[in-house]
Amino acid sequence: MSLPNTISVAAPAKVNLFLRVLGRRDDGYHDLESLIVPISLADRLEIHAHADPTAFRTLSFSLAVLGHPDLVRRVPADESNLVLRAALVMAERAEVRGFAEFRLEKRIPAAAGLGGGSSDAAAALHGLNDLWGQPLDPEQLGSVAAEVGSDVPALLLRAPAMIEGRGERVRPGPDLGVSLAVITFGFGVATAEAYRWWDEDAEATGPDPSPALEAMASGSPSLDGRLMFNDLEGPVTRRHPEIGRAKEALAEAGAIAVMCGSGPSVAGFLPDGLERLPSDVEAGLEAISGRPVVYARSWEE
Ligand code: C5P
């Protein structure tokens, strides 16, 4: 039995199959092209909320963050948490009065390039829109998402998404079935830093993905090495060489490895028929990263 006005929403992590940085803009953001794929590693957000302008004169929020101490340590439980940012921006946009209580169970490491905070925010937007009586249409929800963070609009889709601009232009991407080993690390990388390093190193822009995407659209969607790169990987790996060592170990086991988002996590896409890495490779990776290897698949509702 669940409480009235309460729902539980899964918030999947994401990997970027490719991430192409086109250049720095005048506002400090970078124009991108990326294919974002949600995966089965997920946080869970429980929301108890109600809105009624006749019954409430104020707006109130609370947030509890639960999970392994290693994960929770880097997750703020105050207004800087993207769940509360999302709730606030949405309530202002929809002129809501009422309350929302959040209980966030973390499984996705923070500052890892896996979109955990952004996905939590996207889950909050979906859940609140339901519990608050659908005050926003999908377009308004997308614009609130973009205000909360660059990755949030794509994660609202809960399916593979092609993004452009700084992340606010989203269209459905190819429906890829991937199986992967995700390597996480004990340290985080701030997104702003990764982009700053790209500027500092005068890093190049990766290849135009259009030909490979068109080939994929005309056949059955399958992994294509031409579509698997990350322009932030060079600059971030130069400062954190463990990422390069993890990639090499994954490649030796036949996986195509790409850093996730602004890093440091690395996704090793497993070849068909390989469910797990050989145990010696797994042990080697755990020695490099100091964390257990996480196995995941494409997200399915
Ligand atoms: O949008 P979000 O708050 O997630 O971005 C965090 C930081 O990452 C930005 O302040 C910016 O420095 C950098 N960023 C960027 N270009 C993007 C997305 C993020 O430069 N497309």
Q: How far apart are CA 13 and CA 158, in angstroms?
A: 10
Q: 3-class DSSP state for residue 120?
A: helix
**pLDDT, tens digit (0-9, with 9 covering 90-100), for 19-41:** 999 999 999 999 999 999 999 99
pLDDT of residue 1: 53
Hey, CA dihedral for 102, 161, 37, 186, is it positive or negative? negative
Give the residue, 89 or 215, on which the prediction is more confident: 89
Q: Find the catalytic residue in 43, 120, 151, 224.
A: 151
List the one residue out of 251, 101, 237, 80 whose CA is nearest residue 149. Answer: 80
Q: Compute CA 271 distance to the chain's CA centroid, rounded to the nearest angstrom.
A: 23
Please tell me if the CB atom of residue 119 comes closer than 6 angstroms to any atom of ligand 1: no
Which runs of consecutive H residues, i.e. helices, occur in 162-271? 191-200, 210-218, 233-239, 242-252
pLDDT of residue 272: 87
Does residue 264 have a cis bond before it (omega within 30 degrees)? Answer: yes
Asked if pLDDT for residue 221 goes beyond 80, the answer is: no
Which phi and psi angles does 132 have, rounded to 5°? -90, 10
Asked if pLDDT for residue 157 goes beyond 60, the answer is: yes
151 is catalytic: yes
Closest ligand 1 atom, residue 151 Cα:
4
Buried-exposed string 229-259: b where 16+ CB fall within 10 A, e elsewhere: bbbbbbbbbeebebbbbbbebbeebebbbbb
Q: Are strands 229-230 and 6-24 parallel, antiparallel or unpaired?
A: parallel
**pLDDT, tens digit (0-9, with 9 covering 90-100), for 120-145:** 999 999 999 999 999 999 999 999 99
Please tell me if the CB atom of residue 29 comes closer than 6 angstroms to any atom of ligand 1: yes
Contact, 57 vs 96, CB < 8 A?
no
106 is catalytic: no
Q: 3-class DSSP state for residue 46?
A: strand
Structure tokens at 121: 């925010």
Cα 190 to averaged position of ligand 1 atoms, centre (Å)? 9
Q: Which residues make Cβ contacts (< 8 Å) with residue 300, sequence separation at least 6?
A: 40
Cα 125 to averaged position of ligand 1 atoms, centre (Å)? 20
**Which of 81, 166, 200, 236, when mutated, tests ligand 1's pocket best, judged by the most ligand atoms within 8 Å of its CB?**
166
Closest ligand 1 atom, residue 165 Cα:
21
**pLDDT, tens digit (0-9, with 9 covering 90-100), for 183-195:** 999 999 999 999 9
Q: How many CB atoms lie within 10 A of CB 138?
A: 9
Asked if pLDDT for residue 2 goes beyond 80, the answer is: no
Please give the C-alpha separations between residue 124 and each of 11, 64, 152, 210, 241, in angstroms, as whole numbers: 9, 14, 11, 33, 35
Please tell me if the CB atom of residue 195 comes closer than 6 angstroms to any atom of ligand 1: yes
Mean pLDDT, the chain, whole residue set: 95
